[in-house]
Amino acid sequence: MKKPWMQLAAAGLALTLLLPGGAPRASAAVEDRLLRVGLAYGSGALPAANLENSVGSGYRLGYYDGEGNFTALATTAETKITMLRADTLYLSGGTYSETAVAGATAVGGWYVLLGSYDALETAQAAAAGVSGAYVAWQDGTWQVRWGACESQSAAAAAQSAQGLAGTVGQAGSSAVTVVRTGTAQVLFQYDGTDPFGVMPDVTGEADPVTWFKGYKYYGGFRYERLGGGSLTVVNMVHLEDYVRCVITWEMGASWEPEALKAQACCARTYVLRNLDKHSAYHFDVCSETDCQAYHGTGNLTANSIQAAAGCEGVCIWYQGSLAEAVYSSSNGGASSDSESVWANEVPYLRGKSDPYEALIADTISNYHWSVTFTADELEAKLQAKGYQCTDLASFKVTQTGSTGNVTAITFTDVSGKSWTFYKQDARTFLGLRSQRYTVTPSGGGTADGTTLYAAGGGSLDLSSAYAIGGDGSVSRLTGGVYVLTGDGLEAVGSAGAGGADSYTITGTGYGHGVGMSQYGAQAMAKEGYTYDEILQFYFTGVDIY
């Protein structure tokens, strides 16, 4: 989860027991439950979605109710199936597309209704007697339909040509057609109200997995056409199966077991606190780093499976509520207070010096990093954001947090206008790897660097000083600079003629730097710390159970 954590004030999941007197207490370990993980949604929703089983005997086809319970309606022995949005798609070269191409086969939502039945077996027997017929389900009624035509007229013409008795109909806006992958052969059509579901039919398999878009997943799959659009694909997976997968995408599966356990507790706590985060799409969390990286079972090892099992049900708690268990790759030597990066001050997300990452720094890719921007490049970045920056006079760190990480940077041009970026913007505006860095100017008018000190305290860097003229104009100081004292004018130094030619940013770490450092956890585990000790180092004042 390398994401900006947006709203710590949001209500957490209440997993509580009642003590005598009615006082709430967090449970000792959370129970396994079903999660809804979005795999394709929004602009990424799919007109066609394939599944493939390498084990078992096909699939159970049915629907998921509002509680996540799966009801099986039918089965298929096919191990390669594709779910289609039940309006017109075009099959060409084994691929289903929304665009018609020459020679493509239309697979549409218009059909000939041959009959309705009370039982699946009766409908199957009727369908078996008509070539090309298939069974459909429509909210409690079994039907036998023929054809998947692109229009009403095409269905009527086919009915006449085939001599079929029946009526022409159109699948509903939430309907899903199941075909044998790479063909127009309809295996089943679901025309119900609840979201369509598919479960692997693998009786006797302890942990069946199914291929989807190049990854293997535990559990079942839910398909929903929100607003009658393309398929929102959701993996319906149990919490502990989800956690054992997440840790292998967020960490290396061969990492120290105690580090993996710490990651498992973070992953479990995060997802339970963020249930229904993507409620607009009817699922809990997504599979990308906006939530947590989750791409199925492909990275599992005996080491990672054992680590996840070794802390099953364990979460991170603060005063009886689930903590916001944020983490990043590495903090560069010191973590940050939550309010130094995001909006809210959170008592258990306190920055602290981290001596552990340095122990394995030589194994961390790009742990020490630097990037150089020319003044022209920085001016262009500001202008691209709508800031009317002329020639850049200076770029510097203007504020740091309690542990020395950058919390504000300021750009100033030769006319005296300044732009300051605070908190996470001090990292993201320039696309930097972390907020633990320094800025060094080079070239241009930076050589003198004269500083004027006031008797009462404070100072002025003459290389970036400005004067206000009698007409109100603002201009950068250049050449010799004088001040008026009791003895008259007195030379105090010179101001540069312009800003630096370039600025080199040198830093350590990668990510937002709040909460647990993943590489720090690995280093601590190598030093013999247990997972709860790791978590209690990175999260101040929390309980682990």
Integer Cα distance of 447 and 485 in angstroms: 26
pLDDT, tens digit, for every residue of 399-426? 999 999 999 999 999 999 999 999 999 9
List of residues 6+ apart from 180 with CB closer than 8 A? 78, 80, 81, 82, 187
C-alpha closest to that of 253 among 307, 213, 209, 202: 307
- Please say whether the beta carbons of 68 and 108 come within 8 A: no
Q: Is the pLDDT of residue 8 over 50?
A: no
Integer Cα distance of 209 and 54 in angstroms: 8
Q: Which two tokens stand for residue 257?
A: 């077991």
Integer Cα distance of 19 and 220 in angstroms: 37
CB atoms under 10 Å from CB of 69, counted, come to 12
Query: What value does the mean pLDDT take over residues 54-62?
Result: 84
Q: What is the pLDDT of residue 479?
A: 54
Q: Which two tokens stand for residue 141?
A: 């009624």
Integer Cα distance of 345 and 354 in angstroms: 20
Strand partners, 234: 38, 222
CB atoms under 10 Å from CB of 439, counted, come to 17
C-alpha closest to that of 212 among 273, 280, 121, 294: 294
Strand partners, 422: 408
Tell me how far apart the terminal alpha carbons of the chain are, to the nearest angstrom. 22
- Please say whether the beta carbons of 426 and 407 come within 8 A: yes
pLDDT, tens digit, for every residue of 282-339? 999 999 989 999 999 999 999 999 999 999 999 999 999 999 999 999 999 999 999 9
Strand partners, 363: none
Integer Cα distance of 389 and 476 in angstroms: 14
Q: What is the pLDDT of residue 7?
A: 34
Q: Is the pLDDT of residue 498 over 80?
A: no
What DSSP assignment string belongs to 112-150? EEEEEESSHHHHHHHHHTSTTEEEEEETTEEEEEEEEES
State the DSSP code for 489: E
Integer Cα distance of 279 and 293 in angstroms: 19
- Please say whether the beta carbons of 48 and 83 come within 8 A: yes
Kind plus residue range of the DSSP H or E element containing 339? helix 338-341
Integer Cα distance of 411 and 399 in angstroms: 13
- Please say whether the beta carbons of 204 and 223 come within 8 A: no
pLDDT, tens digit, for every residue of 440-450? 999 976 544 45
From 46-60, 336-350, 356-370, the region with the lowest mean pLDDT: 46-60
Q: Is the pLDDT of residue 232 over 60?
A: yes
pLDDT, tens digit, for every residue of 161-197? 999 999 999 999 999 999 999 999 999 999 999 999 9
CA atoms within 13 A on the CB side of 266: 32
Integer Cα distance of 445 and 465 in angstroms: 12
Helix locations, 347-474, DSSP H: 375-384, 425-428
